[in-house]
Structure 1
């Protein structure tokens, strides 16, 4: 049986070597969170960054590189959490590279740019939904094997992306799709993003772990207040093209409309403005992203 997709998630906690990591914590982290913990000398920041980056590169097939900069480390650094994700899959219904065209894409400020758009060689049935509440349209693009898919969330106007960001919980709850005959026109895009999660987690209310006056990570090592989280860094790599997400050429799986289907004209799903997307595997969302400019 061929492998339908590749998902690599790398999670690791690096702890200043002054503090011995408790064996009970190591076991819990590995058994429950599939994460590792390791002592490291942050004072030698170049060596420490190189070691962390090599580990991430190995776990993500060298697709995620330079996660940690030596500048972000120093002798005061005590705990660094790293997270990296790499996903690879082939479209179940592939876009035809011979049909690629240049089309206009309208950015949030309404600036018009020209981008390369992908097309199918004929209309296909896709899961589709229109939400008046969210003022957006949804289409689900399956990957080969149908265990994984990418959902494109297209706001009705260029200014609506921020509103979707603010309602991401409602966006992810949408599941009342219907099968529609569509002509999907999607820009190629690539995401290679490094995110400092510390500020984001603080906004979400996770503050004590970053404050040495309040942090209690003594279950990991040291005493109360010894360990605080210095950095939480995440980096994701996504490359969307005709074959799939970071995909090589492969035979297309047919999913055209049956002869008994309605002869109504297909709807155009033209992704010509900023949009959200998320990837799910067996109904579990593993990655969420936004594309404001496909050329970046």
Structure 2
């Protein structure tokens, strides 16, 4: 029961984090595309070594209970994600530590046992070699979809820790689109203007509903594992994405999907591929975590050395491709903790799609065209 409670708390906090963080990212123009569980996992790992007001900021921002409860929940989530049949779903964590430094025993234990993380030693002063090593790990764990997550200039002799999460998903549709029916069609970017894109077509029974509160149609496209699906929310109006985004803040997608009915639907869906890199510092600062990027941060629960640590860089990179066969998505998030002693001056479409498992864990991608 304790494990089930901890898992539920992590899943619920991830749901709230997804909605709140999306609202921040949606303020910028263009597509919004990210994996919230990847960002949430790295921040939750960082939370394990935070103390004082910094720990309080993590708890408030991530919508999570005590750090130990979050760790317990992620242990269950990580193991569950690794055992989903008929799709490829990989999630991995890694911690890179500056050579000649040691993690505090409790932090080391929770990172390895609960977050199933590797701990590797690097010399960040040799920044090019260190970046190459980290990037190679990310590429391996995202089937080479995420490349060059870390720039060599993100690392220096003042870097003490780099925490990385990588997640990769590949699933075939339960009902594949017929490639012979794919043809160029209009995708509207406002009331008047459109662009020609490759549109896939099918007509069959899917779970579908119309939600008057959102002012949108909602469709679930199942993968070969029918417990997983891509949820697509299409506004009534061609320029209705902005209004839909506002309404999604208070929408409960779980309740909405429970109202869906299995009916025949004529589906037209664009093929697309998106890759996006997000520097998370500005958004996380707006989100209430600005303290972690300043010398005021308290990460005294991480390493044995008596040095003041803070987050110098937080980067998220995501990739998705949707075609007739299915969907392939990958994401990676990294943050690095630098020492304030060594270098005191550096600070180093109308679609809402998400992969939903029947236990409530989600990897969300937002496409705003």
TM-score category of the 2 structures, normalised to the smaller one: 0.7 to 0.9
Change (3 A) 1:229 1:100: same
> TM-score when scaled to structure 1?
0.80
What residue in structure 2 maps to residue 60 of structure 1? 142
SS of match in other structure, 1:98? helix
1:200 matches 2:277 = no
CA deviation after TM superposition for structure 1 residue 223, in Å:
5.9
> TM-score when scaled to structure 2?
0.65
Asked if 2 retains the 8 angstrom alpha-carbon contact of 1:10 and 1:60, the reply is: no
1:132 matches 2:212 = yes
CA deviation after TM superposition for structure 1 residue 225, in Å:
6.0
Change (3 A) 1:71 1:222: same
What residue in structure 2 maps to residue 262 of structure 1? none
SS of match in other structure, 2:124? coil
CA deviation after TM superposition for structure 1 residue 86, in Å:
1.5
1:287 matches 2:366 = no
CA deviation after TM superposition for structure 1 residue 26, in Å:
1.8
Structure 2 matches for 1:231-242, cutoff 5 A? Answer: 231-242=313-324
Asked if 2 retains the 8 angstrom alpha-carbon contact of 1:164 and 1:171, the reply is: no
Q: Say what the alpha-carbon RMSD is for the aligned residues.
A: 2.5
What residue in structure 2 maps to residue 266 of structure 1? none
SS of match in other structure, 1:53? helix
What residue in structure 2 maps to residue 153 of structure 1? 233
Asked if 2 retains the 8 angstrom alpha-carbon contact of 1:138 and 1:153, the reply is: yes
Asked if 2 retains the 8 angstrom alpha-carbon contact of 1:14 and 1:38, the reply is: yes
CA deviations 1:94-138 (Å, max 9, x no partner) are 110011111000114853100000012xx3111112222222211
Question: Aligned to 1:177, which of 240, 260, 285?
Answer: 260
Structure 2 matches for 1:81-100, cutoff 5 A? Answer: 81-100=163-182
CA deviation after TM superposition for structure 1 residue 208, in Å:
2.6
Alignment partners' CA distance in 2, 1:290 and 1:284: 18
1:32 matches 2:108 = no
Structure 1 runs (4+) deviating above 6 angstroms are none
CA deviations 1:11-45 (Å, max 9, x no partner) are 33334446421232122012222333434322222
CA deviation after TM superposition for structure 1 residue 171, in Å:
5.5
What 5-or-longer segments of structure 2 have no aligned partner?
Answer: 1-83, 330-348
Asked if 1 retains the 8 angstrom alpha-carbon contact of 2:102 and 2:305, the reply is: no
The answer to which of 12-21 and 234-243 deviates more is: 12-21
Change (3 A) 1:227 1:172: farther
Higher helix share: 2
Higher strand share: 1
Structure 2 matches for 1:106-125, cutoff 5 A? Answer: 106-108=188-190, 110-120=192-202, 123-125=203-205
What 5-or-longer segments of structure 1 have no aligned partner?
Answer: 248-272
| Number of aligned residue pairs | 264
